[in-house]
Structures are given as C-alpha cells and as structure tokens.
Amino acid sequence: MPLDPKIAARLKRDGGGLVPAIVQQYDTGEVLMLAWMDDEALHRTLTTGRGTYWSRSRGEYWVKGDTSGHVQHVKGVALDCDGDTLLVKVDQVGAACHTGDRTCFDADWLALP
Amino acid sequence: MPLDPKIAARLKRDGGGLVPAIVQQYDTGEVLMLAWMDDEALHRTLTTGRGTYWSRSRGEYWVKGDTSGHVQHVKGVALDCDGDTLLVKVDQVGAACHTGDRTCFDADWLALP
C-alpha cells in the first residue's frame, strides 16, 4: 500500500521529491529537529506511528531511534497551508539530537541586536 | 554590512542558497510557519529584529507583517547541529498564516492509525 492518494495529491515536493518535516515534542512544544520525508516515509510514519524519514546524506530511509533507542512515538501529523511542509508531533524518548542534546537547536544561538 | 562571516561560514545552504527557517512563538511554543532564508535575509533578521525571509515564489525578500500588519518580533535565532536549519523564536502579532489562521498548520491534520 502506498501513501493515501488523497494525501499524496496535496503534497508539494521539492526537486528531490522531498518535503521538510518539523518534529516537535507534543506536550512541551520543543522543536526537536528538522528532517525530510518523501511519500513513502510519510506513509510509514502514518501507518507505523514511528517517526520515519529520508536521509539525504545516506540516501536511505531511517526510523528514528532504531540505532540510538531514541524513538519518536507519533502523536499527529499536519500539512501546512501550502502543502509543502509537515509538522510531526511526537513523544521523543531521550535525546532527539545525535550530539546527545535534547534538541538539534540547543547548542548554537546566534547573537541578536 | 553583510552577514557576520563567522555565521556565514557555518551555514549549509541548499542548491538555491537557502536554509529553511522554522518560526516558533517564543512563549507558547506554537510552530507558526516554515520560511526560507538566504544570508541576506538572516542578516536582516538579526540586525532589525523583524522576521525577514526569501520568497521562493515571488523571488524577493519579504518582511513578515509589512503587508498584513502581522509582524514578527524576533526573540532569538538558533542554528541546528548540522548548520542547515534555523529556528527563529518570535513574538507573532495576530495570525501567522495568510489564511488568517494563527499558524500554517492549523487546518490540515492527517489521519493516524
């Protein structure tokens, strides 16, 4: 079974067939990471309830936590008004970032005026 | 003055010279929208304190709220662990979405198992 055709028809993919997925902790609101999905990754995420993405660097699907144990249990997925971005609400086990930080945005705050 | 060279050196841009920027309400944690920045948009955001992006569809810079009044006052900007995504924390005046919704993710929740 591929991705639901009604959903697939609304997706606006980039030149590589991908859509950015913002991953957010469902209860605290923390933005954990940004990853990328193609139709199949979205289908797997929706049908398995596990955050599943396309790795642009490795050229393969990855299920978050399969290596690290830092699983993402999916609570909801929304498509934005333009159909070109996904918001994935998850319950993140442990650290979302491969550095060991809770989120991928913890380490590098840029200066503001 | 262009973007601080130390920041520019850490940015990993896509083929179009752009980096996705996740825009989040700083106090409630709502994910408001995803937009795109090049070096100049990031420079303007950091130096003016107003959310400023590159419109891929119109091919021009836009300062959020200049047309709608729905201004974004920037509270902080973080670069992620890979240097290829920005998180922009803002205080959003009114609706972030051009549809009038508070966020661009309010309208289209996809089914889950």
At B7-37, the pLDDT tens digits run 999 999 999 999 999 999 999 999 999 999 9
Q: Does position A113 have pLDDT exceeding 50, yes or no?
A: no
Element containing residue B8 per DSSP (H, E): helix B5-8
Write the pLDDT tens digit of every residue in A33-88: 999 999 999 999 999 999 999 999 999 999 999 999 999 999 999 999 999 999 99
Residue B104 touches chain A, beta carbons under 8 Å? yes
Nearest to A36 by CA among A11, A68, A6: A11
**Distance from first CA to last CA of chain A, Å, rounded?**
51
* Whether A29 and B30 lie within 8 Å, measured CB to CB: yes
Query: What is the per-residue DSSP string for A90-108?
Result: EEE-S-SSTTS-SSTTSSE
- pTM for this entry: 0.96
Question: What is the ipTM metric for this complex?
Answer: 0.96
Structural Rg of chain A based on CA atoms: 14
The closest CB to that of A81, out of B28, B77, B97, belongs to B97
Confidence of residue B113 (pLDDT cuts 50, 70, 90): very low
Per-residue pLDDT, A1: 77
Residues of B in contact with A30 (CB under 8 A): 29
Query: What is the per-residue DSSP string for A19-59?
Result: EEEEEEETTT--EEEEEEE-HHHHHHHHHHSB-EEEETTTT
Average pLDDT over residues B62-75: 96
Confidence of residue B1 (pLDDT cuts 50, 70, 90): confident
